[in-house]
């Protein structure tokens, strides 16, 4: 928590240097500090299309450079950046469609019992793809990127209640779809 506050203060200081001193090196530091997670966010959103994710990440950073005067510090810089990135993604996503999970709630039957040869990671990936797009997006931001529900609501421009609902529902569906793994674990426990 203290680390995260210290990181936020460093970001804030770099933003001030860019805004007042028009210092591109300060912005370069911001890019270096955040590019990893922004690109990871886009790679997940674009289902592993690394080239498209990097193009979009570049676009997001250029937009952040242009809009830096609008950053008032209400949210952490990283959260603000995720919001810009997600907005860039949505713009492209509306024009072009990537293969994503459909939004219907019917596909939650447990997967066939996995054999030991099948990795849990693969099953989890498959199960994630069977969630609705909103559930996948909320779980990505809340769990994998480590944002709070409030921060995820800000990034995704969704009401807080909707974010909480998608998170709870998504986790419940994953649990149901991966229940076979749970059974195998219990059988193996002496």
Partner 1 sequence: MNHSDDDEIEALLRKQFDGAVPDDGFADRVMQQLPPRRRRAAWPLLAGILAGIAACWLSLLSTPLLHAGWQNWISGELSASAITLMAVVAGMSLLACWWTTMEAEDH
CB of 7 to partner 1, least distance (A): 13
- By C-beta, is 2 or 20 nearer to partner 1? 20
Determine if 186 is a binding residue for partner 1 (CB under 8 A): no
- Taking every pair of C-alpha atoms in the chain, what is the biggest distance, in angstroms? 65
Residue written as token pair 């090196």: 25
Nearest-approach distance from CB 33 to partner 1, in angstroms = 9
Is residue 35 within the footprint of partner 1 (CB under 8 A)? yes
Binding-residue total with partner 1 (CB under 8 A): 40
Residue 62 falls in which region: left (phi positive, over 0), alpha (psi -120 to 50) or beta: alpha
Choose which of 87, 100, 118, 124 interacts with partner 1 (CB under 8 A).
Answer: 124
Binding to partner 1 by residue 28, rule CB under 8 A?
yes
Query: CA dist 75 to 45, 87, 90, 118, 177, Å?
Result: 22, 16, 21, 42, 35
Q: Which of 105, 103, 101, 126 is nearest to 172 (CA)?
A: 105
Binding segment toward partner 1, per CB under 8 A, in 51-59, 89-97, 100-108, 156-164: 51-59
116 three-state secondary structure = coil
Residue 58 binds to partner 1 (criterion: CB under 8 A):
yes
Task: Please enumerate in sequence order all residues whose Cβ is within 8 A of that of 101, keeping only pairs 6 or more positions apart, or say none.
Answer: 128, 129, 130, 131, 132, 133, 136
What is the Cα–Cα distance from 35 to 144, expressed in whole angstroms? 16
Q: How far is the CB of 125 from partner 1 (least distance, A)?
A: 7
Q: Does 10 bind partner 1 (CB under 8 A)?
A: no
Residues at the contact surface with partner 1, assessed by CB under 8 A: 16, 18, 20, 22, 24, 27-28, 31-32, 35-37, 39-40, 43-44, 54, 57-58, 61-62, 65-66, 69, 72-73, 120-121, 124-125, 128, 139, 143-144, 168, 171-172, 174-175, 178
């Amino acid at each position: 928590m203290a680390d995260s506050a210290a990181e936020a203060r460093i970001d804030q200081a770099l933003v001030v240097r860019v805004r007042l001193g028009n210092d591109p090196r300060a912005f370069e530091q911001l890019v270096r500090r955040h590019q990893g997670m922004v690109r990871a966010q886009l790679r997940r959103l674009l289902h592993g299309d690394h080239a498209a994710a990097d193009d979009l990440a570049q676009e997001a950073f250029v937009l952040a450079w242009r809009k830096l005067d609008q950053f008032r510090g209400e949210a952490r810089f990283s959260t603000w950046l995720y919001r810009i990135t997600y907005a860039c993604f949505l713009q492209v996503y509306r024009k072009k469609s990537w293969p994503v999970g459909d939004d219907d709630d019917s596909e939650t039957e447990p997967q066939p019992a996995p054999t030991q040869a099948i990795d849990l990671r693969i099953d989890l990936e498959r199960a994630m793809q069977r969630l609705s797009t909103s559930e996948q997006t909320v779980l990505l931001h809340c769990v994998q990127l480590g944002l709070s529900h409030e921060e995820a609501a800000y990034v995704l421009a969704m009401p807080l209640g909707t974010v909480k609902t998608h998170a709870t529902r998504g986790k419940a569906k994953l649990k149901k779809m991966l229940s076979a793994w749970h059974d195998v674990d219990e059988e193996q426990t002496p």
